[in-house]
Structure formats: structure tokens, C-alpha cells
Amino acid sequence: IGTRVIIGGRVESAWVERGNFDLDDTTDRVDQWVSRIQLLGSAQLTSSIEAYSKVSLNRSALLQDATLVSRQDVEVQEAYLVAHRVGGSPVTVQLGRQRFRDSREWFFDEYLDAARVSATFGVWSVEGAVADGVLAGPVADRDRKDKRHLIASVSRPLGGRGKVGGFLVRRDDRGPADDDPMWLGSILDSK
């Protein structure tokens, strides 16, 4: 729409038949229909500030042993503001619900509420964020208000053969468990 606003989306739908999951003598059958309508929008508010959103309407119907269970929900996957080159610097600031994932997706691939700062200094890329809910167990069991995470990473290209770097993920659990683990690691990603 004009030169500053982009709107798009996609529609997905599938029918899945699954049978005999537990491999016992009686054949179990589960039929499931899933569909998703996803709308995406991006607006260039100024030359360096952008707003982005991704919203999904999800529907599913599960038929098992002649019982039909249906579900519908609306999910705001992403909704954030991003400011590039803050004050003419190499720093980018991103605020709101955004996607976090490491390149191998070993630790996380999640949509989280966060404040993120990233910068590039020569060949070095640095990123830091404060986010809620990463590495907090199954989504259904999370209490995002009790778990805050500090995420930091640094990386640089390794010639033309990939990249090398390190990361830190530290949890501040303010809930009843008061569990505050920290993960440190290095990354060697070769092409």
C-alpha cells in the first residue's frame, strides 16, 4: 500500500491421518484437520523506524474414536518496533514480541516478548536481549511472568567458511522454584 506499508499473508490447510501410534494389536486411528490464516504487515514509520506484525488465526478439528474436538485461537506471533542505526550508530534496537532462534535451533526457536539490542563493529556482530519465557519448558506449563532471560551472543565470520562465536543464556526465575541456571557455549558454524 503505497511505498511505506506492506501487507501480505498465507493460508495453509491440511488433513492428517495417523494410525497405531502405540503399536499395539488394536489399530488406533486419529484424523485431524488443521488450518491457519496468517496476516503480516510492515510499515516504514520513518527512514530508520519500522513496525512489523504477524498474526495467525488457527483452527483444528481432531476426530478420534467417533469423538470430534475442535479448537480455534488467535495468536500474535510477532508485533514489534525496530529502530535501525540509532543516532547514526551501528546499533539496532527492537522492542515487542519477536522471534528468537539460534542458527541450529538447539536452544530455542520461540516468539518472545523482549527488548533486543544488536550492533556490528567491523566483522564482529554483538547482540543482547532481555526476554520472557525462553527455555521454560513446554508452552502449556509456562508461567512467563516468573521467568526472565538475559541472552547475549557475539560472532564473526570465519574466512569464507562459516562463523565462530559464543553465547550466554541466563534465567532469572522469580517463581516458587527460584531456579537460576546459566548456559554458556561457543558456536562453530561451517559451510
Residue with cell 541450529: 104
User: What pLDDT does residue 188 have?
Assistant: 83
Does 106 score more than 90 pLDDT? no
Does 128 score more than 90 pLDDT? yes
Other Cβ atoms within 10 Å of 134 Cβ, number: 21
Tell me if 78 sits within 8 A of 101, measured CB to CB.
no
Mean pLDDT of the chain: 83
Q: Which three cell numbers stand for residue 151?
A: 541472552
Does 104 score more than 90 pLDDT? no
Instruction: Give whichever of 13-22, 145-154, 169-178 has the largest mean pLDDT.
Output: 145-154
**DSSP label of 31:** E
User: What pLDDT does residue 179 have?
Assistant: 72
**DSSP label of 48:** S
**How much is the average pLDDT of 19-34?**
70
Count of positions (residues) in the chain:
191
At 169, the amino acid letter reads V
Residues 6+ apart with CB under 8 A from 20: 27, 28, 29
User: What pLDDT does residue 119 have?
Assistant: 97
User: What pLDDT does residue 180 have?
Assistant: 79
Closest alpha carbon to 8 in 37, 35, 36 = 37
Does 186 score more than 70 pLDDT? yes
**Chain-centre distance of CA 139, in angstroms?**
12
pTM for the model stands at 0.74
